[in-house]
Amino acid sequence: MASIARQSSLLRQSCLSAFRSPFATRNGAGVSQVVAFHASAKKQILPPLPQTIQGTMNDPAPIPTPHPSEGSYHWTFERAISAGLVPLTIAPFAAGSLNPVMDAVLCSFIVLHSHIGFQAAIIEYFPTRRVPKTATFCNWLLRAFTLTTAVGLYEFETNDVGVTEAFKRVWKA
């Protein structure tokens, strides 16, 4: 009887080995266990980059031509917009005055800050050399959303109460 139980156990293990996960481990008793959360699964979403060598193996890496808007000026502009949002966000509520010019500057800084942030995400996740059509589509979609947001905020500022007054009303509601 014990030999039949052992044979059925071996048969079950050999049948299940075809369906065993690559993350399966064996415990001390030799029984296969599957890890609950797989953190090491490798999934290739985008195709790999082309594996070509330009020139010879001993040539230095090509240095792209420098452009001021893609380097330190761009970084400085991003930081200036981000730092400028702090006082623009606090000033209308701390001073207690509602100024349409300050609202307009706040809205334009919010639109610029959002556009720059989403553009950085598109550049990071959809590189032009890997997926040129997707990157172009995402950039044009970002421009359309940025323009729509700017027009919407302009309409809200000119035909309604404005951003800071709306926040005050929501805060006190």
State the Cα–Cα distance between residues 19 and 33, nearest whole angstrom.
12
Q: Could you tell me if residue 168 is inside a domain?
A: yes
Say how many C-beta atoms besides its own lie within 10 A of residue 138's C-beta: 18
The residue ranking higher by pLDDT, 104 or 63, is: 104
Summarize the confidence of residues 111-140 as an average pLDDT.
93
Determine the Cα–Cα distance for residues 103 and 166; give it in Å rounded to an integer: 11
Average pLDDT taken over every residue of the chain:
78
CATH number assigned to the domain comprising residue 150:
1.20.1300.10
Kindly state whether residue 8 falls inside one of the protein's structural domains: no
125 appears as a binding residue in the annotation: yes
Within a domain: residue 44?
no
Q: Which residue has the tokens 């702090």?
A: 86
Kindly state the percentage of the chain with pLDDT values over 90: 33
Specify if 12 maps to a domain. no
- Residue 115 in marked binding region: no
Whether 15 is covered by a domain: the verdict is no
- Total structural domains in the chain? 1
- Which range of residues forms the domain containing residue 138? 69-172
Distance CA 18, CA 14 (A): 7
With contact defined as beta carbons under 8 Å apart, do 96 and 102 qualify?
Answer: no
